Amino acid sequence: MLLPIRRTFDQYVNVRPAMLYEGIESPLKGKKPGDIDMLVVRENTEGEYSDIGGRIYQGSDREVVMQGSMFTRWGTERVIRFALDLARQRPRKHLTSITKSNAQRHSMVFWDEVFQAVTKDYPDVQTSSLLVDAACLNFVLRPERFDVVVASNLFGDILTDLSAALVGGLGLAPAANLNPSRSHPSMFEPVHGSAPDIAGKGIANPLASILTAGMMLDFLNERQAASLINRAVAQVLAERKVRTPDMEGRASTRQVGDEVIRTIQTLRAQ
- CA dihedral sign of residues 117, 118, 119, 121: positive
Q: pLDDT at residue 54 above 90?
A: yes
Question: What pLDDT is stored for residue 185 in this prediction?
Answer: 97
Alpha helices, DSSP H only, in the chain?
2-8, 73-89, 107-119, 132-141, 153-166, 207-219, 223-239, 253-269
Q: Average pLDDT of 174-202?
A: 92
**191 closest CA partner among 175, 205, 176, 203:** 175
At 264, is the pLDDT very low, low, confident or very high (cuts 50, 70, 90)? very high
Q: What is the mean pLDDT of residues 185-205?
A: 90
Q: With cut-offs at 50, 70 and 90, classify the pLDDT of residue 196.
A: confident
What span, in angstroms and rounded, lies between the C-alpha atoms of 69 and 47? 5
Residue 111: closest CA among 163, 160, 48: 48
Q: How far apart are CA 175 and CA 219, in angstroms?
A: 12
Exposed/middle/buried for residue 38 (C-beta within 10 Å: 0-12, 13-18, 19+): buried
Q: Cα–Cα distance between 159 and 174 in angstroms, integer?
A: 14
Active site residues: 57, 100, 133, 157, 161
Q: Are 247 and 24 in contact (CB under 8 A)?
A: yes
Which is higher by pLDDT, 2 or 138?
138
Calpha distance 124→187 (Å, rounded): 31
**Mean pLDDT within 187-208:** 90
Q: Evaluate if residue 77 carries a pLDDT over 90.
A: yes
The structural domains of the chain, with segments of one domain joined by +, span 2-193, 195-270
Confidence of residue 2 (pLDDT cuts 50, 70, 90): confident
Number of Cβ within a 10 Å radius of residue 4:
9
Predicted confidence at residue 270, as pLDDT, reads 86
Q: Give me the CATH topology for the region 2-193.
A: Isopropylmalate Dehydrogenase (3.40.718)
Q: Which residue has the higher pLDDT, 37 or 193?
A: 37
Per-residue pLDDT averaged across 72-99, rounded? 98
Q: Is residue 193 over pLDDT 90? A: no
For 213-259, the pLDDT digits (tens) are 999 999 999 999 999 999 999 999 999 999 999 999 999 999 999 99
pLDDT of residue 195: 79
pLDDT of residue 200: 87
Contact in structure between 14 and 156 (CB atoms under 8 Å): yes
pLDDT band (50, 70, 90) for residue 167: very high
Phi, psi at 203, each rounded to 5°: -115, -5
